Amino acid sequence: MSTAHTEAKAEILARIRGALHDAPAPAPAARTYRRASERAGTEVVEMLEDRLVDYKAGVHRETPESLPGRIAELLGASARYVVPAGIDTAWLPEETAARRAIADPNDARKPSALGVRELNAVDAVVTSSTVSCAETGTIFLTGRPDEGRRAISLVPDHHICVVPLETVVELIPEALTRIEPTAPVTMISGPSATSDIELERVEGVHGPRRLDVILLG
């Protein structure tokens, strides 16, 4: 930023502060909304599943033992898929290792990086998740090592997202308490979709066309 721009910005902010210096302090916002769930855990998980199905995501309930088989089934004949470097490799089917790419969290800075062109040639991505809100049917990714940088969850056409049951909450305020305030947050509610002027649904415009959520118990 040039010196002129810096000085202009400082002047604008000084004028704003001057105009507001004698303004009355606003009253604290009333937080009358629910901030803690009173529902049973099983009911909250069922709510999340219902919302995700309504949003046209595939939902599967698995255990650690059945998880690799389910992921293998969902990958099908995918030529290549990508995983974040920090994912639990016990989740992944061994027979797919030869077609698995690993996205290092810092690989955007490397000559061998999986850039947009390389990711566009990948069929699917498998990630974990930070927390999921049942009330809105929203899964939160925050760039943790087992979720990877945002691009790997947006560019491939098929996202397989593992949601451990202990990370499912009912309400948005509960979800936000589990998120690092400075983390880059990606919120997912079903496959990427939009509608044209005639309300024809078009999928895959802003992200994966297909979303499969695995509720891991």
With contact defined as beta carbons under 8 Å apart, do 114 and 81 qualify?
Answer: no
Output the tens digit of pLDDT for each of the chain's 217 residues: 578 788 899 999 999 988 888 878 888 888 888 888 999 999 999 999 999 999 999 999 999 999 999 999 999 877 789 999 999 999 999 988 888 888 866 655 554 467 777 888 889 999 999 999 999 999 999 999 999 988 889 889 999 999 999 999 999 999 999 999 999 999 999 887 676 677 776 665 667 889 999 999 9
With contact defined as beta carbons under 8 Å apart, do 178 and 143 qualify?
Answer: no
Rg, C-alpha atoms of the chain: 21
- Dihedral sign, CA of 214, 183, 210, 74? negative
Strand extents, DSSP E, 16-137: 58-62, 81-84, 100-103, 124-127, 131-133
Which residue shows structure tokens 């769930």?
A: 37
Phi, psi (deg, nearest 5) at residue 15: -65, -40
Which residue shows structure tokens 């297909």?
A: 210
Residue type at 106 in one-letter notation = N
